[in-house]
Structure 1
Amino acid sequence: MTDPTLKYREQHKQRLSYMPWLYWTLKPKQREWAQAWQQQWQHYLQQMETIEVKGDCFISPDAKLFAERGRPIIIEQGSFIGAHAVLHGPITIGKNVGINHHVTMDGGSKGITIGNNCRIAAYCHFYAFNHGIAAERNVYEQPVTSKGIVLQDDVWLGAHVGIVDGVTIHKGAIVGMQSVVTKDVAAGVVVGGNPAKFIKNRG
């Protein structure tokens, strides 16, 4: 007899892809097929790209991860990547990091480093590189520079936050929705706006 729950499985996979934190709340029967599904997909990614997945993670098959040699992506235990996220290494993702759907990250040459326990809401974008703007050269001919981006532990970014190259967001900081972060953010503060400015301390 066919398991009646099988017909819902594809829809359940879509749900997990857009709400991947639910992966860790699955009941044992669901967890069994979901874990096998994830192991197969993550094995494929690690064969095709310079990707290292450490421990129990969730990566939506609708996410796009590109990590050629010299641009690795490392994902630590308990982290997830939602549907239609686009990640181009070098990127290091710590433990228990949530990267939600439609997030874009490009590590440039210096990379993006994300600490433990961070939450990155939908449609955030990180660009760890920049173009020159000299007037005597065409835009496409401008030199590209890269300093890197760092999120320390326990950082929360609201939806549609943009992070420019060279920025460090220190431990425990929160960035409000629709903000653009153009300079370092101190530990334990809330910032917001374009460009993002201090709002208050969390303490």
Structure 2
Amino acid sequence: MITAPSTTDRYRTQHKLRLSYMPWLYARLKPAPREWAQQWQEEWQAYLCDMETIMLGKNCFIAPEARLFAEPGRPIIIGDNSYIAADCVIHGPVTIGQGVSINHHVSLDGGSKGITIGDNSRIAAYTSAYAFNHGMAPERLINEQPVNSKGISIGCDVWIGANVGIVDGVHIGDHAVIGMGSLVTKSVADYSKVAGNPAQVIGSRQK
């Protein structure tokens, strides 16, 4: 005899999916759902740490639908109170500070030099940052080109809008804002507001 899922089971399945795509809701859970959600997260995070070179702080949320890959020597380090939403793909080395939110479908690849993200930064959906690049010498096929890596650093209290691209070698300063759809090819000063392709300074948070 097949037993239909209970209303509670169906509710939890849907609520888990909601949390995976909107993980900021995790911190707002009332005591009863928080109890089962925290157990769910503890089990999933323990699995990730067993399978990959991942170090997690306290009170993090990692969507099971996110894909985190961290071979030995390419760790992923995530600070307290940070969360990663569904359908992200993160390949170490990547270091994420405290209170960082990475929304759904973000892609981060640390190359060999790594990506660092400072405390309390926000990265919106469909943003991509790749800390490596291929050579383009005309006498060699693209798939035969050497790969180099300079690394990417993103400061504290940075807001990166949706669909932003960040290329290798870029440093984004503290408190900067990157407009939706921008392509960041050059470093960004503290407090700067930039937008466009390529991204250009359009203002300052201090004015």
The two structures have a TM-score, normalised by structure 2, of 0.96
Matched position secondary structure for 1:7: helix
Q: Which residue of 1 aligns with 2:189?
A: 186
Shift of 1:189: 1.2
Query: What CA deviation, in whole Å up to 9, does each residue of 1:3-26 have, x standing for no partner?
Result: 853321000000000000000000
Gaps of 5+ in 1: none
1:17 and 2:20 are equivalent in the alignment: yes
AA matched with 1:126 = A
Which of 103, 106, 112 in structure 2 is aligned with 1:103? 106
Matched position secondary structure for 1:150: strand
AA matched with 2:29 = L
- Distance in 2, matches of 1:198 and 1:7, equals 48
- Aligned-residue Cα RMSD (Å) equals 1.1
Q: How many residues align?
A: 202
Runs of 4+ that moved beyond 3 A: 2-6
AA matched with 1:159 = A
Alignment of 1:1-203 (within 5 A): 4-203=7-206
Gaps of 5+ in 2: none
Shift of 1:155: 0.4
Matched position secondary structure for 1:37: helix
- Distance in 2, matches of 1:7 and 1:112, equals 38
Between 6-15 and 83-92, report the one with greater CA deviation: 6-15
- Distance in 1, matches of 2:68 and 2:10, equals 29
Query: What CA deviation, in whole Å up to 9, does each residue of 1:35-92 have, x standing for no partner?
Result: 0000000000000000000111000000000000000000000000000000000000
Q: What is the percentage of aligned positions where both structures have the same residue?
A: 62
AA matched with 1:122 = A
The two structures have a TM-score, normalised by structure 1, of 0.98
